Amino acid sequence: MSVRETAIAEAAESLNDWATHRDNVDHERDQRVRAAYAAGMGKSRIAQLTGLARSTVERILREPRP
């Protein structure tokens, strides 16, 4: 597995964890979405894994980081 594939797999696992335990880690959502995108995951895949609307994913990626 390449470094990029590993990064994407780890980002997918992080997003799945967030989607499964939303109530506990909702405050980490934006950070995890940004990390997945930075790893090379596409916006559509992020939306699919999290259940977020693609427009929400795009908004998170547009907003300045805290």
> What are 27-61's pLDDT values in tens digits?
688 889 999 999 999 999 999 998 999 999 999 99
Q: Is the pLDDT of residue 14 over 90?
A: no
Domain assignments of the chain as residue spans, ordered by start = 3-62
pLDDT of residue 16: 85
Q: Is the pLDDT of residue 7 over 80?
A: yes
Which own/partner pairs from 17-21 qualify as long-range (CB within 8 Å, at least 24 positions apart)? 18/50, 19/49, 19/50, 19/51
**Crossing angle of helices 54-62 and 43-50, rounded to 10°:** 120
pTM above 0.75, yes or no: no
- Separation of alpha carbons 51 and 5, rounded Å: 22
Residue among 61, 23, 64, 21 at smallest CA distance from 42: 61
